[in-house]
Chains A and B, each alone.
Chain A
Amino acid sequence: MLSYILRRFLLAIVTVWAITVLAFVIIQLPPGDFVTIYINALQSSGSPISYGQAEAMRAQYGLDQPMYIQYLKWMGMMLQGDFGMALAWNKPVKEIIGDRLTLTMVVSIAAILLTWTVALPIGIYSAVRQYSLGDYVFTFIGFIGIAVPNFMLALILMYVGYKYFNMSIGGLFSPQYAEAPWSLAKVLDLLQHLILPALILGLAGTAQLIRIMRANLLDELRKPYVVTARAKGLSETRVILKYPVRAALNPFASTIGYYFPYVVSGSIVVSLVLSLPTVGPLLLTALVAQDMFLAGTIVLMLGVMTVIGTFVSDLILMWIDPRIRMEG
């Protein structure tokens, strides 16, 4: 059991390292660099800078050095907790990302929790009452949930909210709290604003999880141990919740890891539409501006979180499935 954890942990570290290389390469892939984009921007606004100035800027950011040196420098900074400067903002990356990363986590976790609390019971219902009216209704809603792009749903909800309820949906805070320091009132305000984004971001996932849970549980319900449990005289609810549902949860636990980046990357457009202060839109602008430190940090963060998530889901799997615990 310990060796299983240790093995997973070492694998996680190797994976993180691979992600840093990948993140770096991906960011360097487009032709040109931040300075090129910067010069173009200045030129189009009518105030070109000289070749010397550009070279000085390149030297300042270390952009004139070979790629592997840039990578090593970047890694060195990272290990010391210095994420570099966000070039377009001229501020440390840490400062720009900090709050946004926390809020991203909050929004994503809210979306995931909502997804689970809605999807699990509905999935169980749909499987136990397969081909019932309720099953068909949920299946219908589920497929619509998968098919409708979430930014569209966001737009519709905003429109409906504005037109009929005269409220503006968007952002995570009311104007008076946006810049205020953290307080209980601000947290409550956040919770109020959280519901809609979580709903919108969670909808597609909910629909998918309902289908997955239904399929898993249908498989499990036909297994002999369910008959055994029934033959013992347990009530049907107890039989289903204790045995097949427990077995059907395995795939859920193993998807925790990738679900988080899925929500974050899937949320870019929604975040733009709803003007949520999360890292999604930030990543987009950083990529467009080839802001390597900022984009690199975000991609890396997402990667590391995926790895941590996967590690956690391995631990959870081990906890819920004795076969893995005993044989791993």
Chain B
Amino acid sequence: MEHGPEPILSVRNLKTYFFQDEGIVHAVDGATFDLYRGQTLGIVGESGCGKSVTARSVLRIVERPGRIVEGEIILRREQPNGQTDEIDLTKLNPDGALMRAIRGKDIGLIFQEPMTSFSAHYTIGNQITEAIRLHLKLSKAEARARAIEMLRLVGIPKPERRVDEYSFQLSGGLRQRAMIAMALACDPGILIADEPTTALDVTTQAQILALLERLQRERGMAIMLITHNLGVVAEMCDAVVVMYLGRVVEKGPVRQIFHNARHPYTQALLRSIPSIEAAPRVKLPTITGSIPHPYKRPKGCPFHPRCAHVMPGLCDVQTPALQPVAEHQEASCFLYHPSQ
């Protein structure tokens, strides 16, 4: 893991809750992780585990009734004079000038729905140049030239023509490429990719992932890759954060997570991947039970009702904290608590 001494983004004990009439949903409940320059960090978990809300919390675009109630999100920006400044994003006004200057400029976002993530009322070029003009203060012509350049960079053929087309005139793969071009138009240090390939067919998925890898090599940006696809994680990521019900249950370098997972949830997730080497006609192991209803969160360790190693009287009473289990690897499970 070659990365700078200080993470570009540090999330500490982040809690984002949704205050609804029926009760409070703890979408993110104490997430802690670091993202380093040039690193690809995979955030994995089942649907509803708080991956996307984490991403939106970082950008401060969590929609009402959601709100960050606790925690820190420290962004370290490199200044032109070579120094870095630290900003706690949770302290900023979400619609304030500084937060808006960070959004799109320092942190780019691409997500799942290439179909609807562009507005159908404006050309691709209009929507890309908008971000460029906002952050880089370029003239109309310069911004347009840059937009075309970006479209070429992400491998869209005939970009000088595509720039004047509408999103519904592009195929899903091209649309996702255009989306990447838009997210990277202002050269952000961090790219948050929220399920970037989920809606694409497998061939296009591979192309988009290869594109992201190439762009990362060329530009040295950090990627926060949110996915439920462990194959994508193995392919792309340097480090992994596994989330369950808004909490980080395990994190570490990708190799260690795949070969030496410690948390029972991670182990169960890995067992449920179909493998070429597995015996044929054998049922794929699944994680027993299903994700608890958001309003009926289990007490103690959130995973204990589905856990094979549950210790009654402990797991259903107390909540475990992240413990070092190997070099650079941590898991939040009582199996590894030193006192147990």
Contacts and interface: CB of A to CB of B under 8 A. Distances in A.
Contacts of B56: 227
A227 B127 CA distance: 13
Residue from B111, B119, B122, B182 whose CB has the most chain A CB atoms within 10 Å: B119
A230 B120 contact: no
A232 B104 contact: yes
Interface string A233-263: 1111000001100110000000000000000
A230 B64 CA distance: 14
A32 interface: no
B121 A233 contact: no
Given A225-B118, A225-B119, A231 B61 contact: yes
A224 to B, nearest CB: 4
Interface residues of B, number: 34
Interface stretch (A72-80, A117-125, A300-308, A318-326): A318-326
A247 B122 CA distance: 10
Contacts of B61: 227, 230-231
Residue from B101, B116, B123 whose CB has the most chain A CB atoms within 10 Å: B116
B100 A235 contact: yes
Interface stretch (B128-136, B224-232, B300-308, B319-327): B128-136
Residue from B95, B123, B135 whose CB has the most chain A CB atoms within 10 Å: B95
A285 interface: no
A233 B169 contact: no
A233 B61 CA distance: 10
Residue from A227, A232, A326 whose CB has the most chain B CB atoms within 10 Å: A232
Contacts of B101: 233
A326 B166 contact: yes
Interface string B78-115: 00000000000000000100001111110011011100
Interface in B166-203: 166, 168-169, 179, 182-183
A227 B109 CA distance: 9
B109 A231 contact: yes
Interface residues of A, number: 22
A130 to B, nearest CB: 9
A223 interface: yes
Nearest to A226: B119
Contacts of B116: 223-225
Nearest to B111: A224
Nearest to B101: A233
Contact of B130 (A223, A230, A234, A323): A234
Contacts of A323: 120, 166, 168
A236 B61 CA distance: 10
B261 interface: no
Given A223-B116, A321-B121, A231 B134 contact: no
Given A224-B113, A323-B166, A229 B100 contact: no
B120 A233 contact: no
B20 to A, nearest CB: 12
Contacts of A224: 111-113, 116-117
Contacts of A192: none
Contacts of A243: 119, 121
B122 to A, nearest CB: 8
Nearest to B118: A225
A91 B119 CA distance: 57
A246 B119 CA distance: 10
B130 A232 contact: yes
Interface of B is mostly: mixed
B59 interface: yes
B117 A225 contact: yes
A28 interface: no
A224 B118 CA distance: 8
A232 B100 CA distance: 8
B118 A228 contact: yes
A231 B127 CA distance: 12
A231 B104 CA distance: 6
Interface string B142-174: 000000000000000000000000101100000
A232 B111 CA distance: 13
A234 B134 contact: yes
A233 B131 contact: yes
Contacts of A326: 166, 168-169
Contacts of A322: 120-123, 166
Nearest to B121: A246
Contacts of B102: 233
Residue from B120, B134, B183 whose CB has the most chain A CB atoms within 10 Å: B120
Contacts of B118: 225, 228
A108 B8 CA distance: 61
Nearest to A228: B117
B61 to A, nearest CB: 5
A216 to B, nearest CB: 14
Nearest to A231: B109
Contacts of B109: 227-228, 231
A243 B118 CA distance: 10
Contacts of B117: 224-225, 227-228
Given A247-B121, A322-B166, A236 B95 contact: yes
Interface in A4-29: none
Contacts of B179: 228
Contacts of A231: 59, 61, 103-104, 108-109, 183
Interchain residue pairs A-B with the least CB separation, the first 6 = A233-B104, A233-B103, A231-B109, A232-B104, A232-B131, A233-B100
Interface of B: 56, 59, 61, 95, 100-105, 108-109, 111-113, 116-123, 127, 130-131, 134-135, 166, 168-169, 179, 182-183
10 contacts: A227-B61, A228-B109, A231-B103, A231-B109, A231-B183, A232-B104, A233-B105, A233-B131, A243-B121, A322-B123
Given A230-B61, A234-B100, A234-B134, 13 more contacts: A224-B116, A224-B117, A225-B118, A227-B109, A227-B111, A228-B109, A228-B118, A230-B59, A231-B109, A232-B130, A233-B102, A233-B104, A243-B119
